[in-house]
Amino acid sequence: MRNLHIKTFGCQMNVYDSARMADLLAPLGYRSVDDPAGADMVILNTCHIREKAAEKVYSDLGRLRLDKQAAARDGRRMVLVVAGCVAQAEGAEILRRAPHVDLVVGPQTYARLPDLLDRVGRTAGERVATEFPVMPKFDLLPEPRADGPSAFLSVQEGCDRFCAFCVVPYTRGAEYSRPAAEVMADARALLAQGVREITLVGQNVNAYHGAPGGLGDLLRELASLDGMDRLRYTTSHPADMDDGLIAAHREVPQLMPFLHLPAQSGSDRVLRAMNRRHTADDYRRLVDRLRAARPDLALSSDFITGFPGETEAEFQATLDLVAEIGFAQAYSFKFSARPGTPAATLPDQVADAVAGERLSRLQDRLNADQEAFNRACVGRVLPVLLDRAGRHPGQLVGRSPHMQAVHVAAGAARPGDLVDLKIVAAHPNSLAGVAVAAPARACA
Ligand code: SAH
Ligand code: SF4
Ligand code: F3S
């Protein structure tokens, strides 16, 4: 047995890829461990989306150099791999800045890890693999192994939208949808291992076209599988939300009433400059249609403050949109100028302090809305899929239909149980529940 430590940065696609790397390496005798210090292999699965995320990798690599030296003193070899979007974007530059790294593999090439590892240590071995292969990586991956009752299933990768701020089209390449039959086979394999909830993931998942009727049809097909209790999908682009997918929110009971639908800004001028290809009103109308289809739908979003040229009035338009929609939760970021993206070289870059001040005003509002949404759940009964042990002994944690973390005293329940919980307390980021046997209703 050899010890493998994978540290994952970034989005759900990376979480999925990390799990698949563990699946690929398991037949070679690697089992996952929490501590990098004693590991035989450490993989950093990196994110390039903002400067801070990318720079974190180098500080981690600095620490890992010491772990690697300590391993060598004990006569052990620690193989250090940089994977993910920084690997894709920076390639050989990583080896220049951190020569103790053994391998650099991009998100499209990690399926070759077993083969590449074989060559590590040989002087002429290939150390950077960041090509976009002709054969989709999924064809090279083994059947997915489940880890708990909830699983990510990648159905789409890459992005053709080229939002002006975003590195993803460059790090993940052109949009690719997996054929529906392949997705169904992976879903069956996961259900057979006890999975009850599947989240379909993709950089722009609702651009999925591997089934004739797009993502809506894929969801309907998946919902017909025995044992499929819950379905979700993430992340979606507003302009790719079609009628069939909206209808799925009305028609597919397993599709949970929660949708992450990034708006980025409430200003039409900023949205245009971002190349988002929709207006703030398009977003409002879309939310109206989604809520008509599924009245208890909880919404989540991403926002960027300080996009080049953003004025105070334009930022105010974002606050107005937030106030109107009432998000159950949301992520917000200061604009980060990323090398190679059109927005990085736009004139009128906004001062960091201004973007930061706007971010904190926006987050105050979003946090207040999230707390209000959580408070509105108190007294309701929600079905919760318990998926892990809590921080305190005897406590379990699960997810509500609206993605809220819910804590409960375990009692007779076990991870994997779908239980009705009466919500007795709301916190900023979670709920507390007690077990009941009554039927569940959704939050307002
Ligand atoms: N595919 C998703 C987004 C993936 S990136 C979508 O289209 O919505 C996740 C979020 O990071 C984005 O929604 C955006 O809000 C933020 N983001 C991306 N690039 C950024 C940048 N250069 N600076 C700040 N935030 C950024
Ligand atoms: Fe990036 Fe835009 Fe594609 Fe999302 S839709 S991954 S923000 S380019
Ligand atoms: Fe980051 Fe790559 Fe995901 S840049 S957000 S890990 S697609």
Which residues form ligand 1's pocket by a CB distance below 6 Å? 49-50, 165-166, 168, 203-204, 235, 237, 262, 264, 302, 304, 333, 335-336, 338
What is the predicted pLDDT for the residue at 439? 59
C-beta atoms surrounding 299 within 10 Å: 21
Ligand 3: residue of 6, 9, 13 to mutate (most ligand atoms within 8 A of CB) is: 13
Q: Are residues 263 and 369 in the same domain?
A: yes
Q: Are residues 199 and 83 in the same domain?
A: no
Q: Are residues 429 and 389 in the same domain?
A: yes
Ligand 2: residue of 162, 265, 331, 332 to mutate (most ligand atoms within 8 A of CB) is: 162
Identify the CATH number of the domain in which residue 47 sits: 3.40.50.12160
Residue at 252 is within a domain: no
| Full residue range of the structural domain in which residue 282 is found | 257-375
What is the predicted pLDDT for the residue at 123? 61
What is the per-residue burial (b if ≥16 Cβ within 10 Å, else e) of 235-254? bbbbbbbeebbbebbeebeb
Per the structure, how many domains does the chain have? 4
What is the predicted pLDDT for the residue at 378? 98
Per-residue pLDDT of the chain (444 residues; tens, 9 = 90+): 999 999 999 999 999 999 999 999 999 999 999 999 889 999 999 999 999 988 999 999 999 999 999 999 999 999 999 999 999 999 999 999 999 999 999 999 999 999 898 888 666 667 898 888 877 889 989 999 999 999 999 999 999 999 999 999 999 999 999 999 999 999 999 999 999 999 999 999 999 999 999 999 999 999 999 999 999 999 999 999 999 999 999 999 999 999 999 999 999 999 999 999 999 999 999 999 999 999 999 999 999 999 999 999 999 999 999 999 999 999 999 999 999 999 999 999 999 999 999 999 999 999 999 999 999 999 999 999 999 999 999 999 999 999 999 999 988 789 999 999 999 999 999 999 999 975 567 776
Residue owning the nearest CA to atom 5 of ligand 2: 161
What is the predicted pLDDT for the residue at 230? 98
Residue at 287 is within a domain: yes
Q: Are residues 187 and 218 in the same domain?
A: yes
The atom number, within ligand 1, closest to the CA of 203 reads 1
Identify the CATH number of the domain in which residue 169 sits: 3.30.750.210
Residue at 411 is within a domain: yes
Q: Are residues 264 and 362 in the same domain?
A: yes
pTM, whole model, 2 decimals?
0.96
Identify the CATH number of the domain in which residue 358 sits: 3.30.750.200
Among 340, 357, 375, the domain-final residue is: 375
The atom number, within ligand 1, closest to the CA of 161 reads 7
Tokens read off for 280: 């703030």
What is the predicted pLDDT for the residue at 235? 96
Q: Are residues 274 and 183 in the same domain?
A: no
- Residue 249 to residues 133, 205, 238, 259, 357, Cα–Cα distance (Å): 35, 15, 15, 10, 37
Residue at 442 is within a domain: no
The atom number, within ligand 2, closest to the CA of 159 reads 3
Report how far residue 73's alpha carbon sits from residue 287's, in angstroms, rounded to the nearest whole number: 59
Identify the CATH number of the domain in which residue 388 sits: 2.40.50.140
Report how far residue 422's alpha carbon sits from residue 382's, in angstroms, rounded to the nearest whole number: 6
Residue owning the nearest CA to atom 18 of ligand 1: 166
